[in-house]
Structure 1
Amino acid sequence: MEKLFGKTSVKESGGEHWMSVSDLMAGLMMVFLFISVALMRDAMIERDKIKEVAETYQQTQQAIYLALLEEFSKDLDTWGAEIDRDTLSVNFTAPEVLFANGKAILTDQFQTILIDFFPRYLAVLEKYQPIIQEIKIEGHTSSRWNTGSSDYEAYFNNMRLSQSRTRAVLGYVMALEPVKNKHYDWVKGNVAAVGYSSSKLTYDKQGIEDEQRSRRVSFRVITNAEQQILKILGAE
């Protein structure tokens, strides 16, 4: 065994020098240690980059929320609206103001609100456009439909209704003069109309569906945080 594994010979000009297996293993351990330290350092650098992006993302979310709140805080009660800090959504939650029951035609009152709201909304978000991936106009309904409808029928009837309503909202705001004159191309490329039917219901504290608040229209900002992470990590 010693002939096979016990010693390793290294010839030098002055003769032979014998290196034990333990010395060889110690050398290999040092090499592995240096590799581990290098990998750990790279991992820590990547972690710090991701942490930096996360902190920047949170700061940006907060800045957008505060900008929207500053602009619209005096109007929210009048409009029957609220701003959600976590989702950056402006939610219009007074269904009687928005559409007639079961219809996708905007009420005169909601048209008046949109004339005031949407150009100001775009103006607030203008400086954040480089980090905005998309704005979704979201249509939500309650789970209720005509008596006698199955859950399946109610869901897809409400799906058609919510989609029709958001398309009506998008079509209306894109036709507004301030939007056509300044923001038309950006809105066309970055604002989407999405109908969610009753998939995102609102519940009260007892866990019971709040039908009125479930029937809402939301304007939601979605940032490109994931793209920013990939960019900072050098993946793009």
Structure 2
Amino acid sequence: MRKVTTTYQEDEPQNPFALSIGDLMAALLLIFVLLLSSTLLRLQDEFENKSLIAERYSSIKEDIYKELIKEFEKDLKDWNATIDEKDLLIRFSGPRVEFDFGKSEVKPQFKEILSDFFPRYVKIITLPKFKDNIEEIRIEGHTDNKGTYFHNMELSQNRTRSVLNFVLENTSYETTEKTWIQLNLTANGLSYSKPIADNDTELGQSLNRRVEFRIRTNAEKQIDEILKVNLNE
């Protein structure tokens, strides 16, 4: 008769704190979901903040443009000027009125225009609802492509300085706003780097010789501040 041998195996001790592979994967998945949710919420907040700034920026631009049109629409034709809604600029395109050829001294007729234009312009840009949202008022000078780039850079810069000096020293705008205007008004000569017409024609060259008053809002600065806050959180 065959003898049956029974082998008994001693049970291994169980660790009550041991996790199975399935439990470990479930825990890692939960952590991942929580991190993803946190990131998505943060991105949503950032997007909403940017959207609010974009909406506010567009609204401010639109309001400034409406005020400029309301104030100057009847004068634009006489001044040979236009108002650009996209870039918030007033463009004076009368080179024969503004300066003599190759010169930077403001001509008498353009002085008359500036004397009428600038005090009214200051009243608009220093309104409380606009002033705190304006980064800079740029007087920009542009030339045609006759002569070298650097010669025209010097000429356009000298012209904008002449315009800046005249409007600050010889126009009767509100003196209470003088400090703000001086801190935010700049002169910028751009040579022929930003033509608006074909420099191969006399008409195009005439259009490219121009002076512009451009408003820059601080929307970019506000976006940068939000980005800094988000990065530091």
The 5 Å alignment of 1:85-124 reads 85-124=85-124
**SS of 1:74's equivalent?**
coil
CA contact (8 A) 2:115 2:172 kept: no
Partner of 2:63: 63
**One-letter code of the match for 2:65?**
Y
Q: Counterparts of 1:129 and 1:113 in 2: how far apart (Å)?
A: 24
What's the offset of the Cα at 1:178? Answer: 2.1
Q: Corresponding residue for 1:175?
A: 169
Q: Which residue of 1 aligns with 2:212?
A: 218
User: Which of 149, 155, 167 matches 2:149?
Assistant: 155
Residue by residue over 1:187-213, the C-alpha shift from the partner in whole angstroms, topping out at 9 and shown as x without a partner, is: 211100110011111125xx9561111
CA contact (8 A) 2:144 2:208 kept: yes
Distance in 2 separating the partners of 1:107 and 1:90: 19
Q: CA deviation at 1:57?
A: 0.7
The equivalent residue for 1:129 is: 131
Whether 1:165 aligns to 2:159 is yes
Which whole-Å deviations, capped at 9, do the CAs of 1:134-192 have from their partners, x for residues lacking one? 101000000013xxxxxxxx111111111111010010011135237333212211100
Give 1:184's match in structure 2, choosing from 178, 192, 199: 178
Could you tell me which amino acid in structure 1 is paired with residue 35 of structure 2?
Answer: I
- Rounded to whole Å, the distance in 1 between the matches of 2:52 and 2:208 is 36
- For the Cα contact (< 8 Å) 1:202–1:211, is it kept in 2? no
Q: Which has the higher strand share?
A: 1
Equivalent pair of 1:162/1:196 in contact (CA under 8 Å): yes
Return the offset for 1:18. Answer: 5.6
The number of residue pairs the alignment matches comes to: 213
Distance across 1 between alignment mates of 2:210 and 2:107: 14
Question: One-letter code of the match for 1:125?
Answer: I
Contact 1:174 1:180 in 2 (8 A): no
State TM-score, norm by structure 2. Answer: 0.85
Whether the 8 Å CA contact 1:87–1:220 is kept in 2: the answer is yes
* 2:198 is aligned with 1:196: no
SS in 2 for 1:106: coil
Identical columns (%): 38
**What's 1:139 paired with?**
141
How much has 1:31 moved relative to structure 2? Answer: 1.6
Q: CA RMSD in A?
A: 1.9
Residue by residue over 1:5-27, the C-alpha shift from the partner in whole angstroms, topping out at 9 and shown as x without a partner, is: xxxx642xxxxx76421122112
Change (3 A) 1:180 1:73: closer
Unaligned runs of 5+ in 2: 1-13
Q: Structure 1 length as normaliser, TM-score?
A: 0.84
Secondary structure of the structure 1 residue equivalent to 2:71? helix
Q: Relative to structure 1, is the Cα distance of residues 132 and 96 closer, same or farther in structure 2, using a 3 angstrom cutoff? A: same
